[in-house]
Structure 1
Amino acid sequence: MTLREPEIVELPTPTGPMRTLILRPAAAGRYPGLLFHSEIFQLTGPIVRTAAFLAGHGFVVGLPEIYHEYLAAGTVLAYDQAGSDVGNRLKTEKPVSAYDGDNRAVLDYLKGHEACTGRLGSFGPCIGGHLTYRAALQPDVAAAACFYPTDLHKRSLGAGMNDDSLARAAEIAGELMLVFGRQDPHVPAEGRALIYQTLTAAGVNFTWHEFNAAHAFLRDEGLRYDAELARQALGMTVDFFRRCLA
């Protein structure tokens, strides 16, 4: 599907207005909504291109700026050490409750959008994978695709670095899809095992995929990008959302 011109909306949240990019098919009709969480660098080229890929397969996609309280609207951090330093610092300054408030704001907007069926899912890589997991704690999120979610096994997201994400696994009513790279130092084998065991013990409905890949293998920029694995993983993601959100 071809896409309409991107829309930029400012959504009210408990911590201030949040600039959000909306991508959706050009064809008339109604489509499921996807809350798309970025990496720590916000709405970079690779993130927007991946979101456009998903929107082009029949979804209304909302991409919020996850650090809207701290950075000027439209700020994109560079994929370099300076950008990493800022993104990682803000990751543990922002309260978990603020991330959750942002999730709720985008989900409510998508649910009420004229082109949305009201069926909701979530997607994200890196910190976005963790935020996608937290979106799945919302009762109206039927499907969440978490790509190499950082800090989930360490319970270290947000201010205080003591999140309750895994502890609340039993609250997830929808289905999860989790994707990891075996050569990802941010989510090592013992971390993956803890996540798997916790979700299993909580009775969560989930699918699990591990590839021989590095962290950020989905990002089509930089030496860690694996085009073939990205093609496979994104194809599985589209199938997953179509099945769960039809």
Structure 2
Amino acid sequence: MNSRWIDIDTNNGNAFRGYLSLPPKGTGPGIVLIQEIWGVNGHIRAVADQYALDGYVVLAPDVFWRQKPGVDLQYDEAGSTQAFAYLKNLDLPLAVQDLTQAVNMLRGMPEVSGGVASLGFCMGGLLSYLCAANAGVDAAVCYYGGGIDGHLNQADKVTCPILFHFAEKDHFISKSAIDAVQAAFGKARNAVIETYPDVDHGFNCWERPSYNQKASAVAHGMSLSFLGKVL
């Protein structure tokens, strides 16, 4: 893969890092890929490469850099304990500001031809939704974003196309939370909401016990179809 770490400037002169992966042809539409709580780890970098092979210029920013730069955790008990601590201390508005900087940087890169989308998993799914409301992305994909139901006061700000993936048996996201998102976006022309039966939270991650190959493949294909139409 043609990939490397790059610096992303903030408005106050600081910088944080992001993992950039380029498509085989070198140019394409952009995706800001937003991590799970385990950081921009090996799995997230592999997903970035996966979407790069699909023809996208992918930038995965380090969301936790204000707490500790370069978080890269495993999906074991020790890694998860650290990951949830980072999540607990995350400043969402500042994270959205940082992601907005990543969106703007990606949009200005010569390798990016076309629009820029956000795409996130778990915590990143919530942040992708917030990017749709605040960061000026052209589209957003949200995989099992926990907490979206607590931010539906921003739903009216989402004017770009948005795709939600939810797990029917998600032990982190209740059915009532999914129902609330469906009530807010069910009649919106710009929104698509998909719920996958008999799968749990994290079904896209092949390093987690909840991984489900069929649901992951279907959701990936749907995400590519969605992005291909709107970017």
In structure 1, distance between residues paired with 2:218 and 2:185: 24
Q: Contact conserved, 1:33 with 1:61, CA < 8 A, in 2?
A: yes
Q: Contact conserved, 2:165 with 2:194, CA < 8 A, in 1?
A: yes
Change (3 A) 1:10 1:139: closer
Instruction: Give the aligned partner of residue 180 of structure 1.
Output: 166
Instruction: Give the aligned partner of residue 148 of structure 2.
Output: 152
- Please, what TM-score do these two structures have when normalized by structure 1? 0.87
DSSP 3-state at the match of 1:213:
coil
Instruction: Give the aligned partner of residue 159 of structure 1.
Output: none
In structure 2, distance between residues paired with 1:125 and 1:35: 12
Instruction: Give the aligned partner of residue 23 of structure 1.
Output: 21
Which residues of structure 2 form unaligned runs of 5+?
Answer: none
Change (3 A) 1:40 1:71: same
- If each structure's helix is expressed as a fraction of its own residues, which one has the higher value? 2
Q: Which amino acid aligns with 1:55?
A: A
- Please, what TM-score do these two structures have when normalized by structure 2? 0.93
In structure 2, distance between residues paired with 1:115 and 1:196: 36
Q: CA RMSD in A?
A: 1.7
Q: Which amino acid aligns with 1:71?
A: K
Q: Contact conserved, 1:169 with 1:204, CA < 8 A, in 2?
A: no
1:61 matched to 2:58: yes
1:43 to 40, 43, 50: 40
2:31 to 17, 31, 34: 34
In structure 2, distance between residues paired with 1:128 and 1:139: 14
Number of residues paired by the alignment?
Answer: 229
- 1:146-201 per-residue CA deviation (whole Å, 9 max, x = no partner) reads 00001222x2xxxxxxxxx3111101110110011111111111110011112247
1:76 matched to 2:76: no
Q: Contact conserved, 2:169 with 2:201, CA < 8 A, in 1?
A: yes
* Identity of matched residues, %: 23
1:209 matched to 2:194: yes
In the TM superposition, residue 78 of structure 1 has moved relative to its aligned partner by: 2.0
- 1:87-122 per-residue CA deviation (whole Å, 9 max, x = no partner) reads 222223222221111111110111111110251101
Instruction: Give the aligned partner of residue 103 of structure 1.
Output: 99
Q: Which runs of 4+ in 1 moved over 3 A?
A: none
